[in-house]
Chain A
Amino acid sequence: MILKQKLKYLQIALNTTPQNAKEIIQCLPLSERILIEVGTPLIKNYGINTVYQVKNWYLEKFYPQYYQEKIKKPSSTTKSIFDSFLNKTNNKEKLIQSQNQKIVKEPYIVADLKCADLAKREVLMAKDAGASAATCLGNAPIATIDKFIESCQKVDIDSMIDMMNIENPILILKLLKKLPDVVILHRGVDETQKNKEKHIPYYQIKQIKGFSNKILVGVAGGDEIEEIRHAILNDVDIVILWEDFYHPSPEITNITNSFLNEIR
């Protein structure tokens, strides 16, 4: 697993347009505890190439000196210009040694593919585009989830299972051959718009962690520091932020900074 079990993470979901995503990246601080999610609408609208673009914007912002002007445009099998570096050095730590011996920290990007079938192909797609993690639906056929986790392990990216619209995630986990690295608990956007009362099922976190203490739990929803704090108190490892990140604003910088300062 690339993520560390002792750390708390903030995952920022990019869901609108590549331009908007680029502007949001400009507002983010540099930290291994900030994960960037290329959301399903962005992938379905603009293709998996967006993962590659987001990664390069990030590197361009934080390491301009290492960023190469001439990027070879990736084909369907996208390759990051940094991949050749990555493969030679310690991939797990996600650190790459630049020519000037300074350490360049690669961003952790989640490709929210919401895989429902053809798992191996989707995992390879995510890996080729430079993602560090991919997502699979918890209510996909068990054969698909098994294949998904197995493929993720083979290519050394984190497997995330999205438990949206599942009453009892434990029942799914019990059926799997191998356990995923991360389980994501959340309500759908359409569900929450209709029924504001539908809360995040925090009690399920204890159940999941009781089942396996190696699984990290990600929870989506909430967009204020109080809500993030509340999630962390409930033993959440990854807090996923949506709503604020539709539009770049100073608010994004504030909320990420408060997270990094207040939550350890």
Chain B
Amino acid sequence: MLSPRLKYLQIALNRPLDESILMLQLIPQDERILIEVGTPLLKISGAESIRMFRNILGKNRYIVADIKCMDRGATEVDICATAGANAATCLALAPIETIDKFIKKCKEYNIDSMVDMLNVKFPFEILQKLRQKPNVVILHRGVDERYQKEIPEIPYDQITRIKSTYNNILISIAGGEDFRDVRRTFFNGADIAIVWEKVYKNPNQIKILTDEFLKQIR
């Protein structure tokens, strides 16, 4: 489980499985570096990608399965947890019943539940409706949204709002790409910064980003 006292860098791997496995070798071993099996990778290779990551990385590394659950909350947690993930994601756009089941099942498996606020205007309202709160809330704009005329802002303003009421929830921010964005994420009070696009385009960026993160962010 993640600690509220630490700051984390989450590296999302979205390339096909064979290439993502090669990329794993570039990620340094540190408790503050989280590894994400991205949605495209999961949809291409299924739970096998999580199993493969677990076999290669060993027991102690933290793996997030970005399964973006929308229905059948319990079944999808089953898929991730039995394959060896430490955390799974659920869309906040899903019916409340699904998110509730998802969080409950994550607790049963003792893995972290992450609720992804993609395209949700008022994350706070969703949190209020839930029976149990998730361990992590992910705030971001969609990738496709970044290529339209009016690019939505990363919702930094939501961080303090959520934290002031639910101080146990960690906040994860996706959408930043270089180290400046990562630093800005933590400056705004987030706990986890997710990067993927730069790493997807150029795997050598992994070393640059992780080195700087481990050196400069405490």
A-side residues, CB < 8 A to B, are 40-41, 43-50, 75-76, 113-114, 116-119, 121-122, 125, 137, 139-141, 143-144, 147, 164-165, 188-191, 193-195
Contact = CB atoms under 8 A, between A and B. Distances in A.
A242 to B, nearest CB: 11
Interface string B26-66: 00000000000001101111111100000000000000000
B187 interface: no
B70 interface: yes
B118 A116 contact: yes
Given A117-B143, A118-B144, A140-B142, A47 B45 contact: yes
Interface stretch (B72-80, B106-114, B163-171, B202-210): B72-80
Contacts of B68: 114, 116
A147 B16 contact: no
The 5 closest A-B pairs by CB, nearest first: A47-B46, A76-B16, A144-B144, A190-B98, A188-B71
Interface string B87-101: 000010111011001
A144 B46 contact: no
Contact of A44 (B46, B93, B119, B143): B46
A33 to B, nearest CB: 26
Interface string B125-162: 00000000000000001111101100000000000000
B142 A117 contact: yes
Interface of B: 16-18, 39-40, 42-49, 67-68, 70-73, 75-76, 79, 91, 93-95, 97-98, 101, 118-119, 141-145, 147-148
A41 B94 contact: no
A41 B39 contact: no
Contacts of B45: 47, 49, 76
Contact of A137 (B40, B46, B93, B143): B93
Contacts, number: 121
A17 to B, nearest CB: 11
Nearest to B46: A47
A139 B142 CA distance: 12
Interface centre among B39, B42, B144 (most CB of A within 10 A): B144
Contacts of B16: 75-76
B212 to A, nearest CB: 26
Nearest to A195: B97
Contacts of B17: 76
Contacts of A46: 46-48
Contact of B97 (A50, A141, A147, A194): A194
Contacts of A141: 118-119, 141-142, 144-145
30 contacts: A40-B71, A41-B76, A41-B79, A44-B47, A46-B47, A47-B46, A48-B43, A75-B16, A76-B18, A113-B43, A114-B68, A114-B71, A116-B93, A117-B142, A117-B144, A118-B40, A118-B144, A137-B70, A137-B93, A141-B118, A141-B142, A144-B142, A165-B95, A188-B71, A188-B94, A190-B73, A190-B98, A191-B95, A191-B98, A194-B97
